[in-house]
Structure 1
């Protein structure tokens, strides 16, 4: 599944603010969005990705995305960043 990409990423931006910033700076390669995250939180990033052409990958849950990112808490959004 797509969690492998998250686990293997050299650099991640976890969380809505950080991911949004990376997309705006043109550094995000792919953005992972948890399906169970609040749309009010994720919509801004999703729309920004669509505008800028960044790939969006939906994953099952915030808990699994957080785990893939190596954190103890759930993550709504994580961006794979290209240095």
Structure 2
């Protein structure tokens, strides 16, 4: 699944992922396990309420790399 993040349509980061979930364009949400709960908490609740599957990734660094960026990412979404 992480492979899709490199080439697929996606959002990277909390703000962009939140917008995608709110707009109903997200089909899959990735959250880093080491991300601060205060930062990802609202996004998790919104995704669960919207019936969007959440996939947990071990580290922010790993998620960032999967997205093709040099820095860590707390969250990312694959878009419909």
Q: Same fold by TM-score, threshold 0.5 exceeded?
A: yes
Alignment of 1:1-83 (within 5 A): 2-9=1-8, 11-82=9-80
Aligned length: 80
- What stretches of structure 1 move > 6 A for 4+ residues in a row? none
Question: Any gaps of 5 or more consecutive residues in structure 2?
Answer: none
The CA RMSD measured in Å over matched residues stands at: 0.9
Aligned equivalents of 1:6 and 1:32: distance in 2?
A: 9
Aligned equivalents of 2:64 and 2:53: distance in 1?
A: 19
TM-score, normalization by structure 1: 0.91
